[in-house]
A = this chain, B = another copy of it.
C-alpha cells in the first residue's frame, strides 16, 4: 500500500511544474488568507487599546485606522514596484541581499521565518479558540483540533500550492462575500440613517472612561492595529509560485488582497463608530468580538450572522496557509546560498519544497503542544518580524533606485515611494517594539540574533568542507596499483563464494579473514575444518583455473571484537603494502522484511559503517549483496518515475 501516494499524490515531473503554477485566483486564497483574516483581529486589537477611553475611544478609531490604511497603501505601492523590479525574487531576502548585503538579507530572512512560524501557531489557535468559545463542548479538544487543522493545511500544501489554493478558495470567497455583503448592508443602513443606524440587536453599552486620550495610548492602539498588515509581504515572497507572466499575476493578486483588506478595515472602523461598538474585555464572561457585535447589530442573530461569523472562524484557522506558501520558498532561497541545509532547496515529489514545509509543520506543532493550543501569549512576539522584514525590503528598494540613479537611470517617484515606505515601516517597527517590548517582543528580539548565528555557522561549516573537497585542475589518477583485497568471512557459503569472485576480479592479492573465538569462551570452534575446506574447495579449484589463489588468515578475537580486529589487520596490511589501496569486500545479507532485522545480525552494516568512517583515506568498501527477497527494481522505478517509458527516459542521454 503506497500511503504517501494516496495522501499527497503521485510524483510530478519537472515539465508539469509550469502547469501547476498559480494565477491570481488561487494566489488570492493561497497567499491572501493571512492578510484577509487580520481584518478579524486588527481593528479589534486597536479598539482594545482604546477601552480605557470608554465611548470617547470610538472617535479615535477613525484617525488611527486612517493612519493604518495610509501605511498599507504605501506598503502596497512599494511592493508593487518591488515585484516589477525583481520579477524572480521579490522577497525581502532577495531584495536585501542584492542591495544591502548578506548580513542584512539574513536579518530579514530570520525575521520573516520567525514570523511565519508564529503566524501558523497563532492563526490556528486563534481560529480554534473562536470556534471553541462559540461551541463550548469542544473546549477540551482544543489541542487535537489545532493539530488536525495544522495537519490538513500541511497535507494540502504537500500536495501543492495549487491544490491548497483551490480547496481553500471556498471558505475564502465565502468570507469575502458574506462579510463584505454584511458590511455593505450596514454602510447602506448607516448612510440611510444619516450615520445613526438603529441596531437590530443593540451592542452592550460602552464602559465609562477611566482615562483620557494620551499620545502614548494612541500610539499603542496604532501599533496593535498594525498586526492587520502582516501577510502583505506574502505575494512578493511567493512570486515564484505564479504562472507566466509572473509579474502580471503577482500584481493582480497583490491588488486583490490589498483592496479587499482595505475595504474590510475601513468599513469595520466606520461601522464600529456608527453602531457604537467597542472592544470588550476578553477575560470577562459574556465577551463578544467586535465582528460578532457588528454582525448582530447589522443583521441580527439570523442566518447571515452565522454564515459570516462561521467563515471568519474558517479564515482565521486557514490564515496559517500563507506561511506554508512563504516559508518553504524563503528557506529554499536561503538554503541555495548555503545558510540552511541543502535539502531545503530540493523540490519534493509534488514540486513544493517539502523539507521546509515539514519543518514549518513540526515547529508549529511543537509550539501548539507547548502552549496546549492557546498561544495568546505569543501574539506580542508577532508583527515585530514582519515589520523588520518590511523595513529591510523597503530600504533595499530605496538603495536599488538610488544606485540606478547613479547609473543614470533616475526613477525619482519610485525612489520616493520606497524611501517613504522604509521610513514609515521603520517608524511603525519602532512603535511596535516600544509598545510591546515588555509584553513579549523582547523574545523575538533575542531569538533573531540566535537564528542569525545559526545560519552563519551552517554556512561556515559548508565552506570548510567545500574547501577540503574542492578540486582545481586536472584529475590526478596516480599509479593505479592493484589494491589489496580483504574479505571477512564467517563460513564458506554462496555469499562467500560471490565475495571471493568479486575480490579476484579486482586484484590478484586477495585475503579472506576468518575471526575465531567470536562466539565466546563456551563455544566449539570449527576453525580447523574451515581451513581444510578452504584448501580443498577454494584454493585448489582457483589454482586449477589459473588464477592466483586467495589466502585465508584466521585471527583469534579474544574480545569477540570484529570491527576492532579488522581495523588492526588493515593497519598491518598498510604497513606491508604502503603504496597500495585497501579494498574490504563485505559479503552482506540484505534485509528485505522487518523481521530480518531481528533474525540477522547487523554486523556487516556496522563493519561497513566503521570502516568507511575510520578506515582511512586509501580504503574503500565493496559490498557484495545477497538479498533475502527477490529484487523488484520495476516497483522502485514505477514509484519514482510514474508512467515514464524506458525508451523515452534514456533517449535524451548525452554521452561523451
Contact = CB atoms under 8 A, between A and B. Distances in A.
A77 to B, nearest CB: 28
A250 interface: no
Contacts of A636: 563-564, 567, 610, 614
Contacts of A558: 13-15, 641, 644
Nearest to A512: B656
22 contacts: A12-B559, A14-B559, A341-B600, A343-B601, A346-B560, A347-B520, A458-B599, A475-B541, A482-B505, A502-B583, A554-B653, A556-B652, A559-B642, A559-B644, A567-B636, A571-B646, A590-B613, A612-B625, A613-B625, A613-B627, A614-B631, A620-B622
A477 B542 contact: yes
By CB atoms of chain B within 10 A, which of A478, A506, A565 has the most?
A506
A493 B480 contact: no
A651 to B, nearest CB: 9
A12 B520 CA distance: 10
Interface stretch (A223-231, A440-448, A528-536): A528-536
Nearest to A535: B656
A532 to B, nearest CB: 10
A27 to B, nearest CB: 17
A610 B637 CA distance: 11
Nearest to A593: B461
Contact of A477 (B465, B545, B610, B642): B545
A599 B465 CA distance: 11
A561 B640 contact: yes
A652 B502 CA distance: 28
A568 B649 contact: yes
Contacts of A539: 656
Given A493-B471, A636-B614, A625 B631 contact: no
Interface string A595-629: 10011110000001010111111011111111110
Copies of this chain present in the complex amount to 2
B468 A480 contact: no
A240 interface: yes
A636 to B, nearest CB: 6
A614 to B, nearest CB: 4
A619 B625 contact: yes
A272 interface: no
A631 B613 contact: yes
Given A520-B14, A521-B14, A473 B537 contact: yes
Interface residues of A, number: 131
A371 B112 CA distance: 49
Contacts of A592: 613
A521 B21 CA distance: 11
A409 to B, nearest CB: 26
Interface of A: 11-15, 17-18, 240, 341-343, 345-347, 351, 458, 461-462, 465, 468-471, 473-478, 480-483, 492-497, 500-502, 504-506, 517-522, 527, 531, 534-542, 545, 547, 551-556, 558-561, 563-565, 567-572, 581, 583, 588-590, 592, 595, 598-601, 608, 610, 612-617, 619-628, 631-633, 635-637, 639-642, 644, 646, 649-650, 652-656
B497 A480 contact: no
Q: Which of A535, A588, A656 has the most CB of B within 10 A?
A: A656
A471 B483 contact: no
A610 B631 CA distance: 9
Given A346-B601, A477-B542, A622-B623, 7 more contacts: A458-B599, A471-B496, A551-B655, A552-B656, A563-B636, A568-B649, A568-B650
Contacts of A626: 469
A211 B206 CA distance: 82
A17 B522 contact: yes
Given A469-B626, A520-B351, A650-B569, A640 B553 contact: no
A471 B458 contact: no
A554 B654 contact: yes
B615 A588 contact: no
B623 A621 contact: yes
A129 to B, nearest CB: 34
Nearest to A502: B620
Nearest to A538: B475
Contacts of A477: 497, 500-501, 504, 541-542, 545, 547
Nearest to A478: B501
Given A347-B519, A477-B504, A505-B480, A615 B610 contact: no
B632 A625 contact: no
A564 B598 CA distance: 28
A537 B462 contact: no
Contacts of A343: 601
A471 B639 CA distance: 36
A323 B431 CA distance: 70
**Which of A342, A554, A649: most chain B Cβ within 10 A?**
A649
